[in-house]
Chains A and B, each alone.
Chain A
Amino acid sequence: MSAPTRTNFPGAGALRETGRLFALGLDVIRLLPKRPFQFREFIQQCWFIAGVTIMPTALVAIPFGAVIALQLGSLTEQLGAQSFTGAASVLAIIQQASPIVTALLISGAGGSAICADLGSRKIRDEIDAMEVLGVSPVQRLVVPRVLSAMLVAVLLNGMVSVVGVLGGYFFNVILQGGTPGAYMASFGALARLSDVWIGEFKALIFGFIAGVVAAHRGLNPPPGPKGVGEAVNQSVVVTFLLLFAVNFIITLLYLQIFPAQRL
């Protein structure tokens, strides 16, 4: 390309990488509808990501729900609002904890595997070979991986919500002596269906971010044999940073658009 002169100022490298990351994200969206869709690859990746994430996610979800329930339980008891423990823990789990837990595991278990896979293909020249054969690696490899990360994130999010709420119920009712009726009643009074949707929506976005970041780092590993390892490391760290920033923005917007339900 008749090269645009590369300006150099502090932070230019970071901006350039950010730009490339966004470019890859846009490429993935642009190539989504392009035929032929790599169905086989998609199914294989879904299976793989689900396989490596289901168990750890379930195991993380139970204590997560329990911690929130225990923490809130002791606080609400002092305020005399013990009957609202159920509602509070359910909202916290469905809206916040479950998409975040899902995304952390998708990125930590699935994303790192995607990144390592693409990175080793890159250093073995497979990606270059694919491009030279006239096949777009983004369409062929990245799109199915990002899509499967999104799908698995959405499905896992549902599982985490259920497991987390059950865990919260168990600790609140059995261990803290809360009443099942109050738990259910406050749950019904404060929680709305849109809370579930926003949780799922977040999981979808987080899955997308985890997939794109992992693919981006995998396709551009630092040079040398250590490069792929570094790329995997970076992909997990970058995903975590992005997740919390994006989560903050989505939550803010959601609370502005759908104000919390009054009693």
Chain B
Amino acid sequence: MGVEVAVEGLSKSFGSQNIWSDVTLTLPTGEISVLLGPSGTGKSVFLKALVGLLSPEHGKVLINGVDVCDCSESKLYEVRKLFGVLFQDGALFGSMNLYDNIAFPLREHTSKGETEVRRIVQEKMEMVGLVGSETKLPGEISGGMKKRAGLARALVLDPEIILFDEPDSGLDPVRTAYLNQLIVDLNAQTDATFLIVTHDINTARTVPDNIGMLYRRHLAMFGPREMLLTSTEPAVEQFLNGRRAGPIGMSEEKDSGQTAAELAELGEDRGVPEIIPQLGISPGVPERAAVWRRQDRVMANLDTLDPGARQAVVNSLTPRERERYGLAEPSASAAPGGSGTETVSGTLPTDALPTDRIATLPEQSTADTPPEGAAADDQLPSAAPERPRPTPHPRAAPENSEPETVGGRKRRWFSRKRGER
């Protein structure tokens, strides 16, 4: 089970140069979050601040109640044992071969015998597809292998929080796709909290549950994937489209006049690319518990989202899920054999959803549904073609954590911040 990472008002400068300021977000327990941003906006600096390698001037990073930015060294080392970090080019120890590199954390922090160490290392190397390269030195392998070895090393201690610094940089599209699948599967298996720093749009569109974007020295937005992927904010739109016209310039931001002129010229071509479904898990991998936690949370806070994002969230639901959250008539989804892609706009209320209805789900009905629902779903996988994961879940684990996750606590990551013009 992962750990929540709460960042409050974090600011960092190098000398007189401000990198970013007042970054506030919460990485929800066990979910995959992506931090996007143009090159040089301090994404890697943010990662390093999270693990206490850099000390920001202001703000807090709270992990299990410990403020990483302001705690004793021994406590910091204690907290760091929760982390697994994949550095940009693996950061393997050049003097050790791959096996020793991956075994290093085990030998340092556990009293496991050499046979046990060998077993765990073999398991992790198999996971990242490096079997047979145990005796190679980091200098003798390719960049992609270094990354995978770095990932294996980050995983050996079964961390609660895994941070990826540009896992896709310098990899070909196929390897990136494999790595992304590996990330999703890992999240399903470990239920750890993931944060991926990247500027790869494809990764951002398919992998995460939540997306944030750093831009102009602050956090432009952070929230559920639908929020950013349907955003109309010019910088986000420009980034997702990967085009030149927009507020992001080559070195810094452009002046607003030029931006406006470029955007006017674009005219009809504006708008983000269509939202694509999230990457599912591989066959044989247990379901991601985070999906359920996230869905409950997003649905409970649906009224805080923009209409476009709200529509995207609702569109992504299967009929059964819609019924569960009280969005569709039970009779409509009782016959799931019908068209899987019915128009939702009719059932979607234009104003805020009745949050109380969503938050207090009828427990009996969800408890009843799994057996028959699972059976029904097996026969009807096409009922929700856009969401490959099975719908009704034996909701034992999420149920327990529900009081905290859906409780009355203020959800910081929904507070959207716009760049001041």
List chain A positions with a Cβ less than 8 A from chain B.
1-3, 121, 124-126, 128-136
**Can you list 29 A-B contacts with CB-CB less than 8 angstroms, sorted by A residue number?**
A1-B70, A2-B58, A2-B70, A3-B55, A3-B56, A3-B57, A3-B58, A121-B94, A124-B89, A125-B87, A125-B88, A125-B89, A125-B91, A126-B91, A126-B92, A126-B93, A126-B94, A128-B91, A129-B85, A129-B92, A129-B93, A132-B80, A132-B83, A132-B85, A133-B109, A133-B153, A133-B157, A134-B77, A134-B108
Contact B108 A1 (CB under 8 A): no
Given the complex of chains A and B, what is the CA–CA distance between A37 and B203 in angstroms?
A: 43
Given the complex of chains A and B, what is the CA–CA distance between A126 and B53 in angstroms?
A: 12
Q: Does B51 contact A (CB under 8 A)?
A: yes
Given the complex of chains A and B, what is the CA–CA distance between A206 and B81 in angstroms?
A: 37
Contact B80 A134 (CB under 8 A): yes
Task: Note all chain B residues with C-beta closer than 8 A to A128.
Answer: 48, 53, 87, 91
Tell me the dominant secondary structure on chain A's binding face. Answer: loop
A133 shortest CB reach to chain B, Å: 5
B76 shortest CB reach to chain A, Å: 9
Q: A1-B69, A128-B48 are in contact. Are A133 and B108 (CB under 8 A)?
A: yes
Within 8 A of A (CB), among B54-109: 55-58, 69-70, 77-78, 80-81, 83, 85, 87-89, 91-94, 104-105, 108-109
Q: Say which size band chain B's interface belongs to.
A: 20 to 34
Task: Note all chain A residues with C-beta closer than 8 A to B53.
Answer: 128, 131-132
A137 shortest CB reach to chain B, Å: 11
Task: Note all chain A residues with C-beta closer than 8 A to B51.
Answer: 131-132
Task: Note all chain A residues with C-beta closer than 8 A to B88.
Answer: 125
B62 shortest CB reach to chain A, Å: 14
Task: Note all chain B residues with C-beta closer than 8 A to A136.
Answer: 77
Contact B69 A2 (CB under 8 A): yes
Task: Note all chain A residues with C-beta closer than 8 A to B48.
Answer: 128
A4 shortest CB reach to chain B, Å: 10
A226 shortest CB reach to chain B, Å: 18
Q: A3-B58, A134-B81 are in contact. Are A129 and B87 (CB under 8 A)?
A: yes
B106 shortest CB reach to chain A, Å: 10
Task: Note all chain A residues with C-beta closer than 8 A to B80.
Answer: 131-134
Given the complex of chains A and B, what is the CA–CA distance between A121 and B77 in angstroms?
A: 20
A48 shortest CB reach to chain B, Å: 12
* Residue on B nearest A2 in the bound complex, by CB: B70
B192 shortest CB reach to chain A, Å: 15
A120 shortest CB reach to chain B, Å: 8
B163 shortest CB reach to chain A, Å: 9
Task: Note all chain A residues with C-beta closer than 8 A to B87.
Answer: 125, 128-129
Task: Note all chain B residues with C-beta closer than 8 A to A3.
Answer: 55-58
* Residue on B nearest A133 in the bound complex, by CB: B105
Q: A2-B58, A3-B58 are in contact. Are A135 and B108 (CB under 8 A)?
A: yes
Contact A133 B94 (CB under 8 A): no
Task: Note all chain A residues with C-beta closer than 8 A to B57.
Answer: 3
Task: Note all chain B residues with C-beta closer than 8 A to A134.
Answer: 77-78, 80-81, 105, 108-109
Given the complex of chains A and B, what is the CA–CA distance between A130 and B157 in angstroms?
A: 14
Q: A1-B70, A2-B69, A134-B77 are in contact. Are A124 and B94 (CB under 8 A)?
A: yes
